[in-house]
Structures are given as C-alpha cells and as structure tokens.
Amino acid sequence: MSEEQEKKNKKISKMTIDEIESAIKKAAEAMNGQTSLYIKHLNQRKEELLAKQS
C-alpha cells in the first residue's frame, strides 16, 4: 500500500500529536465545524498525549 492510504486509515490510538492536529483541521473543514464524534475523539486523544508529555 502507498503511504497515503496507510495515513488515511490509521487508527486514532496510533496517531502522533502532529497527525492528530492535521486530522482535526481536515475534518473540521470537511464537516463544517468541531461537533462531530470523530473530532471529539481526536481531541480526547490529543489531550491524553499532551498529559503524558508533561
């Protein structure tokens, strides 16, 4: 598989902070807002990763 397909189908639990941030931006533009369940899960995972770093 190409790298683009792997990134597209990557699980949230396996994403890095940078990948999560880019996924949030893309999803917010595509879904016109921050209210989708997918974006909420991305934000939760981002908070978990940031808590582990500090």
Average pLDDT over residues 35-50: 95
- The pLDDT score that the predictor gives to residue 54 is 78
**Count of structural domains within the chain:** 1
Yes or no: say if 39 and 24 are a contact pair by the CB < 8 Å rule: yes
Arithmetic mean of pLDDT over the chain: 88
Average pLDDT over residues 27-44: 94
Yes or no: say if 13 and 45 are a contact pair by the CB < 8 Å rule: yes
Q: Is the pLDDT of residue 4 over 80?
A: no
What is the extent of the structural domain holding 24? 3-53
Question: Cα angle vertex 41, ends 36, 24, to 5°?
Answer: 65
- The pLDDT score that the predictor gives to residue 3 is 59
- The pLDDT score that the predictor gives to residue 22 is 95
How much is the pTM?
A: 0.79
